[in-house]
Amino acid sequence: MKPAPKAGPRTRPGREEKKAATRDALIEAATKVFARQGYVAASVDDVAWEAGLTKGAVYSNFASKDALFEAVIERADDRRMREILERVDWSAPASEQAAWAGQQFMAMNDPDLFLLMLDYTLHAARFPAGNESMRSGHRRLKAAVGKTMERMGAELNWDVQAALPIPELVTAFFAMADGVALEQLYDPDGCPEDLYAKMLTIFVRGLVAISEDPSGASPPSVAAPSPS
């Protein structure tokens, strides 16, 4: 019987691998710290302590607390969107895709992360200077969803933009999702878990109906009130 071959020497991780591992550890630690303490109260020192690293390690990977926060949100958004898009059935009717996507979107909704986004949104609204990178990241996410809608329209031979331009449709989807998430946070017993899926289905059915009959796309005119 031949002896088992000896295992070769372990290769040590290179510099780039170590840096990537450190960056991942910092993002994971920052996610916990920001969710636990809120954006404003959390500090870079807190993140370094949570990760078991030095403050210098944080700043060697992220220029600022804002940049670290941006990485936390970007990773969470990327994971959620990737998981949803990987499972979507592109051949299903638009309303079924909408219902399924709505269910998945809310099922993956993290209350801590949503609270954190509310915290940061209020901070950015009060101090708009210096927050453009976060806004840019949000726009990139919406653009990715827009491309998904374009693909869905092409697969189903559906004029997605018959009612509204795609950027406005995506903004509407996000606004509905944020509103439902806020209601669930504030009054979970009064907000059904499938509410967003129902809203999205109704919305998409309306869009499909308008694409089949564009005359219904124009909003009704509202007469200006006569002076008393």
The residues spanned by each domain of the chain are: 16-62, 73-215
Q: Which helix (H) or strand (E) holds 55?
A: helix 55-61
What's residue 81's pLDDT? Answer: 73
**162 confidence band (pLDDT: 50, 70, 90):** confident
What's residue 217's pLDDT? Answer: 59
Check residues 14 and 149 and name the one with the higher pLDDT.
149
How far, in Å, CA of 57 to CA of 69, rounded?
Answer: 15
**135 confidence band (pLDDT: 50, 70, 90):** confident
**92 confidence band (pLDDT: 50, 70, 90):** confident
What's residue 227's pLDDT? Answer: 59
- Over pLDDT 70: what percentage of the chain? 88
Considering 49-63, 114-128, 177-191, 197-211, the range whose residues carry the highest mean pLDDT is 49-63
What's residue 56's pLDDT? Answer: 93
Question: pLDDT tens, 58-82?
Answer: 999 999 898 898 888 888 877 777 7
Whether the per-residue pLDDT at 226 is higher than 70: the answer is no
Amino acid identity for residue 146 in this structure = G
What's residue 82's pLDDT? Answer: 73
Q: Is 200 exposed, middle or buried (0-12, 13-18, 19+ CB in 10 A)?
A: buried
Alpha helices, DSSP H, located in 108-227: 111-126, 132-156, 166-186, 195-212
Whether the per-residue pLDDT at 145 is higher than 90: the answer is no
Residue holding tokens 């609270």? 115
**Taking the CB of residue 87, how many other CB atoms lie within 10 A of it?**
10
What's residue 25's pLDDT? Answer: 94
> What topology is assigned to 16-62 in CATH?
Arc Repressor Mutant, subunit A (1.10.10)
Whether the per-residue pLDDT at 6 is higher than 60: the answer is no
What's residue 59's pLDDT? Answer: 94
Whether the per-residue pLDDT at 51 is higher than 90: the answer is yes
- Provide the token pair at 221: 């005119």
How far, in Å, CA of 80 to CA of 190, rounded?
Answer: 25
180-185 LR contacts (CB < 8 Å, sep 24+): 180/106, 181/106, 181/109, 181/114, 182/114, 182/118, 184/106, 184/109, 184/111, 185/111, 185/114, 185/115
What's residue 61's pLDDT? Answer: 94
